[in-house]
Structure 1
Amino acid sequence: MKNAKNQGIIITQTPLRISLFGGGSDLPEHFNVSGGSVLGMAINKYVYVTINSLERLQDKKIKLSYSKLEIVDSPLELNHQIVKNILIDTPFFNNDSFIDIHSYSDLPSSSGLGSSSSFTVGMLNALYYLNGVFKTPKFIAKNAITIERVKMKEKGGWQDQIFASYGGFNKISFFNNSFNVEPIAIPLEKKIYLKKSFFLIFTNLTRSSSEIQNSIKISKSIDKKQCLKMLHSFVEEGYNILYNSKKNKEMIYELANLLHKSWEIKQNLSDKISNPHINNLYELGLKNGALGGKLCGAGGGGFLLFIVPQENQVKFLEKFSKYHILNFDIEDSGSKILYSKLY
């Protein structure tokens, strides 16, 4: 039902994501020429957005609380570029209301798990619900992509917005300025075995995704074009491993080997993707039971994902006991309304 006053309290919960294969091929300058795809999953770590839209009783009409506090009278005055562009772009923003916006996250920002796009999707979802307008995950993902990649001109791919909107363990294909989401429909027992082999280690470094993406000058290097084609091809290989492996142990060994190949190739895309600290952590993982792994996100910091077979996990955990090891599960749902009260 249409909320005529555009007033109420909404809280959204939007998942972060882990990309296994294909990162970089979701850049439109690549997939509109050569196609692209990624294989990855939303996880049960979230960004929360609270919007409290009330009758205007104060001089200023927008209060925004994140790592900073902004109190302004117009979206044009905001320093937070995502919120600024969303409020300028949305036809639902009521000039007569006072709007109080808060955001929280289970994990640090700039950690390679797509938190900025999860925030964008979560805020759009909240605004639509506040105004009694139903939008599909595809519509919200496309809108978030437009906000971040077109209006803000932030360098990056499309997968973050899609995983945040849809949730799930998916293969996402990109083509002709569009995309298709295919859920990975493997047996639950196989999915659980895979999840129990994953370990996320925080590097204690954070970075700007757009800065890393800007350092990847694909069009000027044939080698880098070849790297992206190979990374794209790993999506299909990973997909086939998930569906065709006869034994679970065989599955994780083959996936880990593919992740390791991907790690080696990504080093050639940009000198900012990794650094000595991250390389040392990766080598430490391999020496202590991990079969392969990857740095989540564009690179430069954040979380390292390792695949560790069950027989090596005690040794691995002992070696990394001084580091933050993040437990996670696959989140099947995309952005959702956690709480709502409309006036």
Structure 2
Amino acid sequence: LQKACLLACGIIPREGHTLGEILERLGSGFVMHSEVTNVPKGSGLGTSSILSAACVKAVFEFMGIAYTEEDLYAHVLAMEQIMSTGGGWQDQVGGITSGLKYITSMPGLQQHLQVAHIELSPQTKKELDERFVLIYTGQRRLARNLLRDVVGRYVGNEPDSLFALEEIQKTAVLMRFELERGNVDGFAKLLDYHWELSKKIDAGSSNTLIEQIFSSIEELVDGKLVCGAGGGGFLQVILKKGVTRQMVEERLKEVFMDSL
């Protein structure tokens, strides 16, 4: 990861030049260290892209290189291609830019991300904080494998996949609308619809364990979706009004004992 960062940022050349020549140009050497703590690999939370973004930002600031948020997005995307991790083009935005975001980009190989911040009323933010819960499945799945399947279906013009991808774009717009007008219930319903669409794009985004978890808490939640690639990692749910996190935790312990 550190080497990919130095390559993407232009600190070391792709080929040629000895270590001595590179150090002479830099004026000295330096130590790079990166670590993700308390977040499991394959969590679906975009940690690889966020860690890459943190490395790029650190190198830019250490070297005194002026940059914009768009520069960070582009350099992280280049890093992911160098490492062949297959991360999404928008994952890094989650960690670099604070708050709730609506992210768009036009078609084409060169992606120019447009990031719009979603403004929530204090009441909506409080309700969302109270009703939003993450559940860790204990399973891992690499995004790279998912993306190969998704792109394969898209290139193959599979009707279900093309329909679902088109619908997900529309659903994202509606989600933003419902949150901005303070309708968390409406947002939860759209989250549920998104989950059904995700399974049309890639059946592997769900599995027996995920379906069992969702089924066991069905009457406690209004909306559900996997994070990231799915097939494991974290699940996100919107609780019904009046339901607490403790009630969900107790139900899961009752059904799965201590396996979650």
Tell me the TM-score normalised to structure 1 length.
Answer: 0.64
> Aligned residues: percent identity?
23
Is 2:9–2:75's contact at 8 Å kept on the other side of the alignment? no
Alpha-carbon distance between aligned partners in 2 of 1:174 and 1:244, rounded to the nearest angstrom: 24
> Who is 2:173 aligned against?
236
Alpha-carbon distance between aligned partners in 1 of 2:230 and 2:49, rounded to the nearest angstrom: 16
User: What amino acid sits opposite 1:90 in the alignment?
Assistant: C
Query: Could you report, residue by residue, the CA deviation over 1:165-190 in whole angstroms, capped at 9, with x for unpaired residues?
Result: 22221111111421211100121221
What is the RMSD computed on CA atoms of the aligned residues?
Answer: 2.1
Alpha-carbon distance between aligned partners in 1 of 2:8 and 2:113, rounded to the nearest angstrom: 23
Distance 1:226 1:109, change over 3 A: same
Is 1:294–1:306's contact at 8 Å kept on the other side of the alignment? yes
Deviation at 1:323, TM superposition (A): 6.4
Is 1:172–1:182's contact at 8 Å kept on the other side of the alignment? yes
Secondary structure of the structure 1 residue equivalent to 2:94 = helix
Alpha-carbon distance between aligned partners in 2 of 1:225 and 1:296, rounded to the nearest angstrom: 21
> Who is 1:256 aligned against?
188
Distance 1:324 1:180, change over 3 A: farther
Task: Give the one of 88, 92, 112 matched to 2:11.
Answer: 92
Alpha-carbon distance between aligned partners in 2 of 1:312 and 1:164, rounded to the nearest angstrom: 29
Deviation at 1:292, TM superposition (A): 1.6
Deviation at 1:130, TM superposition (A): 1.1
User: What amino acid sits opposite 1:318 in the alignment?
Assistant: E
Structure 1's consecutive aligned runs of 4 or more residues displaced over 4 angstroms after TM superposition are 321-325
Task: Give the one of 72, 84, 104 matched to 1:140.
Answer: 72
Structure 1 residue runs of 5 or longer lacking an equivalent are 1-81, 246-250, 326-343
Secondary structure of the structure 1 residue equivalent to 2:43 = coil
Secondary structure of the structure 1 residue equivalent to 2:35 = strand
> Who is 2:88 aligned against?
157
Alpha-carbon distance between aligned partners in 1 of 2:249 and 2:30, rounded to the nearest angstrom: 49
More strand by share: 1
> Who is 2:223 aligned against?
292
> Who is 2:207 aligned against?
275
Q: Which has the higher contact order (CA 8 A, sep 6+)?
A: 1
Query: Could you report, residue by residue, the CA deviation over 1:249-285 in whole angstroms, capped at 9, with x for unpaired residues?
Result: xx22211111111111211212221110111111112
The answer to whether the aligner puts 1:219 opposite 2:161 as a matched pair is no
Structure 2 residue runs of 5 or longer lacking an equivalent are 13-21
Deviation at 1:112, TM superposition (A): 0.3
Deviation at 1:89, TM superposition (A): 3.3
More helix by share: 2
Secondary structure of the structure 1 residue equivalent to 2:140 = coil
Tell me the TM-score normalised to structure 2 length.
Answer: 0.84
Is 2:101–2:115's contact at 8 Å kept on the other side of the alignment? yes
Alpha-carbon distance between aligned partners in 2 of 1:102 and 1:85, rounded to the nearest angstrom: 13
User: What amino acid sits opposite 1:291 in the alignment?
Assistant: D
> Who is 2:234 aligned against?
303
